[in-house]
Structure 1
Amino acid sequence: MMIRERLPAIDDSVIYKLILEEIAPFSREFNDSSVLTLTSIRKRLRNNVTFVMARGNRRPVGFITMFCKNRVLYVDMLAISGQTQGRGLGKKLLLAGESFGKRKACKKAQLLVDESNPKAIGFYQAMGFEAVRYLAEVGCYLMEISLTVSKPRRLQ
Structure 2
Amino acid sequence: MAAAYTIRPYRHRQDTAAILRLIRRELVPLSHTPIGREALTDRALTARIRQGRTLVADGQDGEVKGFVHFMVTSRPNVPALLQIDMLAVEPDSRGQGIGSALLREAELYGRSRRCTAASLFVDEGNDRAHLFYLRAGYRAIQYWPSLRCRELYKPLFPDI
Secondary structure, aligned partner of 1:3: strand
State the TM-score, normalized to the length of structure 1.
Answer: 0.91
Residues 6 and 51 in structure 1, CA contact (< 8 A), matched pair in contact too: yes
Counterparts of 1:81 and 1:31, CA distance in 2: 22
Computed over aligned residues only, the root mean square deviation of the Cα atoms, in angstroms, reads 1.6
Give the CA deviation at 1:121: 0.4
Aligned-pair distance for 1:48?
1.4
What does residue 102 of structure 2 align with? 93
> Any unmatched runs of 5+ in structure 1?
151-156
What's the % identity of the aligned pairs?
A: 29
* Unaligned 5+ runs, structure 2: 75-79
- Cα deviation digits, residues 14-45 of structure 1 (max 9, x gap): 00000111111111246444421211110001
Q: How many pairs does the alignment contain?
A: 150
Alignment of 1:5-154 (within 5 A): 5-29=9-33, 31-55=35-59, 58-70=62-74, 71-149=80-158
One-letter amino acid of the counterpart of residue 134, structure 1: Y
1:10–1:59 contact (8 Å) kept in structure 2: no
| TM-score, normalisation: structure 2 | 0.88
Shift of 1:132: 0.2
By percentage of residues, which structure has more strand? 2
